[in-house]
Every structure is written in C-alpha cells, then in structure tokens.
Structure 1
Amino acid sequence: MGQLIKMQDYVSRYEQNIYLYPSRYVRLKKHQWEKLKAAWENNDASVFMNQSQEENPDWLEEEKKPLIDKLKGLWKLGKKDNEEEDLLNLDQMDPDNEDSGEEAILQFETKFTYRPDSVEELKHQFLDQLFRFQMKWASSTLTEKSFVDKRFYYDEKLKFFLQRFPDTFLVLYLPLFLLKKAPVEVETIILSPTGVWCISLLEEEDSSVFIGSKERFWVKRVNGEEKKVLNPLLALNRTAKIVHQIFRMNEIDLPIHKVILCRNGYIDHPAAPFDVQMIEKRNYEEWFKGMRNLRSPLKHVQFKAAQALLQYCQTTSIRRLEWEISEEE
C-alpha cells in the first residue's frame, strides 16, 4: 500500500520528517497485518467482536466528538483509547530510539464488527482501515490540522494509487505547488525507489475512445457520440516541468516518467509524444504488473526528492484548539 505524503494543500506529517515516517509506516503495516492475520486464523473473538453497528468514518467521528473529549486527548496520553491519542504518541517519540519506535507502532489497532469469511476479505478491510489512518497522517500533525474535503474518503482514484501499489511508493495526490507566490495544482506524482511518475488520469465512461492530438482539446467518442475533453498533456507536461526544475535546483538525479492512464478506455494518438506513455485498456495490465513488481527498498535519493517537492508545496492548516488553549494558559 503506497504512502500518501501529500494531498492537495493539507498539512502532512511527512513534511515534518520525510526520513522518519516512511519506514515507520512500513513497520506499522507489517506488524499489524501479521497480528491481525494470526487473530483471524485462531478465530480470536476479542478482535472480531460483534457490535450493534459499524464504526463511523473517521471524518464523521471528528465532527461528532465533543470539545471536551478533544481536550482530554491532549492530557491523557497514558490512555490508548482512540487513534488521535496514538498519533500524538507517535509524534512524541524519539526518532533515534528504536525501542520507543517499535512501542508506538503497536498503537494502531484495527476494528472489526464481524469475522471476515476469507483472508482476501480480511486484507481488503485491513487496507480500508489503514487508508483512513493514512488520511490522518496526510491531514494533521501534533499541533496543526487541515479540513479534509469528505469526497477524498471515497475517492476511488486515490484508493487505487494507495492500495494497489507497494509500500515503497510515495504519493503526492493532486498537490498544490506554491511557485512565485501563486498556487499551481498539478497531476498526481508518485516517487518510487527507481524513478518519478507523473500520472494524468483520463477516465470517463467505460470503453470510451479518446482521439489525441496537439490541439488544446481531444475528442472523446462513446456510444456513437463525440465530445471535447481538455488535452491531458497540458497538465501532465506542466507537472513534469515543475518536478524537473525542482530536481535540478536540488541536484537530484531521478528519471521522470510521464503517463496518461486510462484504465477503462482507449487512447488513439497518431503522433503521440515519444516521452509520454499512453497506458490504456490494451496495455494496462502489463504496465500495472510491472509497477507492482518494483520491490526495491526505500532509498535515500527518494527521500531527498520527496523533501525537495514538499518544500515547494502549499499548506493550508490551523493550529489545534488544544495548543491554542495551552499557550494562553
């Protein structure tokens, strides 16, 4: 499962220490999955307890949580009753203390309302809960938080980039770069251990055919009808150009790949640019398997590249109420 290091202009824990959180996430996921799988195999009733109703999504719990509960979360660090306190504990760890790191990893706990019928179903539910946990890391820190648009919790494209790729892939999902004091929204950027992938998703109705050209608009054909769509190469080239400039200023040597991804349709471009991969229904599976088979470990140049990109990302957040009150006192 890829790591969401930046989403739009939300504050991210990875911005604080890109060298610490990726490896911590990998250990957390591995430990919790092994623990959960063992509980499933042993039919551990304490893990798969029946409850009257399913847990609410994290964003809904945040809205319903009383103010006093939020304040208690700051001072009662000894309790591990909710995920917010767990995240506070993670931030207070000593990065150089491996023992404290391992202890904090144990704080992420999954919640189930029933025992899944198969390992595959168990894995899907585990990834869904880990996804919500990632959303917290990608929108809050110990002292700050951003207000996440609820649509991202159900964004199939975001889940695709996170749940279908290896843990060593660092994802910037539709980030906003602040260049010359002006925000610029770009396409999704994925940092793998061996390169950078700038990806423009071109997906509408199933089996749509997109006729590419050098013009500002392409033509989409589906069910005998034609419609103009904005040329995805415009945003894709802008994204790759920004990444290239940042890498050049920071002396980062990583290959930059440009991809137009159309999983459910077809692309017909007679004069496609040589430096752009057109991934569509006919060659998607081959490309996808190749990406998933990239099993290289996290690399220093990858962290350096991520740090350079994050430095130019715009962040919009507010101070947590708990910290405002503590400072006044």
Structure 2
Amino acid sequence: MAQLIKLHDYVSRYQQDIFVYPSRYVRLKQKQWQGLKMAWENEPPSGNENILSGMNQAGKKKQDFLQKMKKVFIKRKELEQEMEDLGKKESEDEELEVSEIPSNIQTEIELKQYYLDRLLPFQLKWASSTLMERSFPDQSFFRDGNLRYFLQRFPDTFLVMYKPVFLLRNAPVEGESILITPTAAWCITFLEDETDAVYIGSKEHFWNKKTGNQEVKLLNPLLALDRTEKIVQHLFNDLDIDMPVFKAILSRNGYIDYSFPPYGIQFIDKRNYPEWFQSMRSLSSPLKHVQLKGAQALLAHCLTTSVRRAEWRTDG
C-alpha cells in the first residue's frame, strides 16, 4: 500500500521527517496485518461446533480468540517505546484501529481488502495532522477512487503526493498527482469518464472526446501535466537530485489517440495499461535515499494550511 505523504494543502507528518516516517509506516502496517491475520486464523468456526464439546470448550475458544484480537490493536506503551528515539508522544494520533473482524470474511484475499479499507482513514490522518497541527480534509477524499487506487494498488515503497499545491514565488500552484518510486518520479493525470471513450489529443487548447455518436471538447490535460513536470524537474535540478521525471496520462477504461505525440509523454490506456501496471507493481526495490531526498525537496515547496491543535480544541 503506497504512502500518502502529501494531500492537497494539508499538513503532513511526512513533512516533519521524510527520512523517518516511511519506514515507521511500513513497520506499523506489517505489525497490524500480522495481528489481524493471526486473529482471523484463530477465529472459532461458525455452525459446525460439536455440541458434546460443552460450554467449557466453547468458552476457552472464545477467551483464546479475544486474546488474539488484542494483538490487532497497537498498544499505547508499545507506540511510546517506538517513538522514544524521535522524542515525541504521538501515541493517540498513531493508533491504527481495527474493529472486530466481520464474520462474512472467508478468504485471506477478502481479509486483505478489509484491512486496506480500514487503513485508508489512518493514512489520511497522517496526511492531514501532526502532533501540534491539524488540517481539515474535504470528506470527498475519503471516497476518492483515484486516491484509493494509488494507495491500495502500489507497493509500500511508493510515495504519493495527491493533488499537491506548490508555493512558488509566494504564489500557489496546483499540481497533478505525483508518484515517487524508488527509481523515478511520475507526474500522472487521470483521463477517465465513460467506459471505452476515445480521447483525441492534439497540441491545441482543447481535446475531443468521443463516446458512441457523441463528441465533446475537454481541456487539454497536458497543460496541467506539463506544468507539474516542470516544477518537479526544476526542484530536482536545483538540489542535484538525480532521479528521472516521467509524465503520463492514465485512462484505464478508455483509449487515447494522438497522431504525433510530443516527446516525453506516456499515454497509458486500455491497450497498454496491464503491462505498465504490472511493471510498476513488480518493482521490488526498497526505499532509496535519493527518493526520500526528492520527496523532501517537493514537500519543502508545498503550501500547507493548518491550525495548531490548541486553537482547534479551543474552537471546538
């Protein structure tokens, strides 16, 4: 599950120390998953218990199961111990709460999806609050399918900046989403409306979209994508960060036609999406120093809108 290091203009704890939080997130996630899986594997079977085993045996199973469930939760003392090296007490804000496992989960695949869905609010919490500050994310992000796609379909070593707002020369500039992998930075925009829509690209200010017998115009998506790529490349060059920057338009359910596409842009549609996606998913490289350095450079130039915790609590 990729890590959400920046969401729009909200405060992010990854901005505090990008060299610490990614690895901590991986540890916490793995620890929670192992506890959840253990609890699920030891859950008493339903409907086929032997009545002759008696109430004592059933009671013992229930007690054992409850003991296993305790491992699903991150204990306050364990969190405080892990954070001592950072000198922080963020235990309340970094608890990953997983409720009792639904009885309808029958396979490990279903359990993984349940876990990923429960992990999403936790990630949004990390991407909108710190120990001292908090932002108030729009509720639409909790239902955003593209954001969910980035976070649930890519490895833990991928760092996501979703619709970041850069602050350049004291002016805010909205960017497209950025996926920072161990080997490259991808500036990505989605072009997905109706299924099997055909997007006809050109250098003009508008593109055409064909759906059946209908044809409509839409703003050229390369305009915003080029702007984002230039920002990323400029910041990388200033700090001598040796990492390639790619830009891509992603249409998982449609087609992109461009007779003479400009250099440096990748069109990923229904025809080549499976191959691209598999190549991204199979990237097994661990987090790299240059990757974190690149993320740090981008985060340092992002706009952040937040309030201090004390002020928020007083107003509430």
The interval holding the TM-score normalised by the smaller chain is: 0.7 to 0.9
1:126 is the counterpart of 2:115: yes
Deviations 1:5-29 (A, max 9, x none): 0010000000001011000001111
Partner of 2:83: 93
Instruction: State the 1:93 CA deviation.
Output: 2.0
Partner of 1:53: none
Between the aligned partners of 2:239 and 2:109, the Cα distance in structure 1 is 43
1:180 is the counterpart of 2:200: no
Partner of 1:79: none
When Rg is computed on C-alpha atoms for both structures, the one with the higher figure is 2
Instruction: State the 1:324 CA deviation.
Output: 7.3
Deviations 1:135-173 (A, max 9, x none): 000000011100110000000000000000000000000
Partner of 1:4: 4
The amino acid across from 2:28 in the alignment is L
Q: Alpha carbons of 1:308 and 1:153: their partners in 2 closer, same or farther (altered >3 Å)?
A: same
Between the aligned partners of 1:272 and 1:47, the Cα distance in structure 2 is 60
Runs (4+) off by over 4 Å: 89-92, 103-107, 322-325
Residues 212 and 269 of structure 1 are in contact (CA less than 8 Å); yes or no, is this contact kept in structure 2?
A: yes
Q: Alpha carbons of 1:34 and 1:181: their partners in 2 closer, same or farther (altered >3 Å)?
A: same
Helix, strand or coil at the partner of 1:315: coil
Q: TM-score, normalised by structure 1?
A: 0.81
1:256 is the counterpart of 2:276: no
Residues 11 and 130 of structure 2 are in contact (CA less than 8 Å); yes or no, is this contact kept in structure 1?
A: yes
Instruction: State the 1:42 CA deviation.
Output: 1.1
Q: Where do 5+ consecutive residues of structure 2 fail to align?
A: 45-64
Between the aligned partners of 2:80 and 2:192, the Cα distance in structure 1 is 38
1:163 is the counterpart of 2:152: yes
The amino acid across from 2:297 in the alignment is A
Q: Alpha carbons of 1:15 and 1:105: their partners in 2 closer, same or farther (altered >3 Å)?
A: closer
How many matched pairs?
Answer: 287
Q: Alpha carbons of 1:323 and 1:91: their partners in 2 closer, same or farther (altered >3 Å)?
A: farther
1:310 is the counterpart of 2:299: yes
Instruction: State the 1:223 CA deviation.
Output: 2.0
Partner of 2:201: 212
1:114 is the counterpart of 2:134: no
Helix, strand or coil at the partner of 2:85: coil
Q: How does 1:138-287 map to 2 (within 5 A)?
A: 138-287=127-276
Residues 210 and 266 of structure 1 are in contact (CA less than 8 Å); yes or no, is this contact kept in structure 2?
A: yes
Partner of 1:33: 33
Helix, strand or coil at the partner of 1:132: helix
Partner of 1:73: none
Between the aligned partners of 1:192 and 1:322, the Cα distance in structure 2 is 37
1:15 is the counterpart of 2:35: no
Instruction: State the 1:322 CA deviation.
Output: 6.9
Q: Alpha carbons of 1:145 and 1:270: their partners in 2 closer, same or farther (altered >3 Å)?
A: same
Q: TM-score, normalised by structure 2?
A: 0.85
1:24 is the counterpart of 2:24: yes
The amino acid across from 2:137 in the alignment is V
Between the aligned partners of 1:48 and 1:204, the Cα distance in structure 2 is 45
Between the aligned partners of 2:132 and 2:102, the Cα distance in structure 1 is 35
Helix, strand or coil at the partner of 2:84: coil
User: Kindly, what percent of the aligned residue pairs are identical?
Assistant: 54
Between the aligned partners of 1:105 and 1:290, the Cα distance in structure 2 is 35
Q: Alpha carbons of 1:254 and 1:47: their partners in 2 closer, same or farther (altered >3 Å)?
A: farther
Helix, strand or coil at the partner of 1:298: coil
Instruction: State the 1:113 CA deviation.
Output: 5.3
Deviations 1:257-286 (A, max 9, x none): 111100110001001123111000111000
Between the aligned partners of 1:241 and 1:226, the Cα distance in structure 2 is 31
Q: How does 1:4-83 map to 2 (within 5 A)?
A: 4-43=4-43, 45-46=65-66
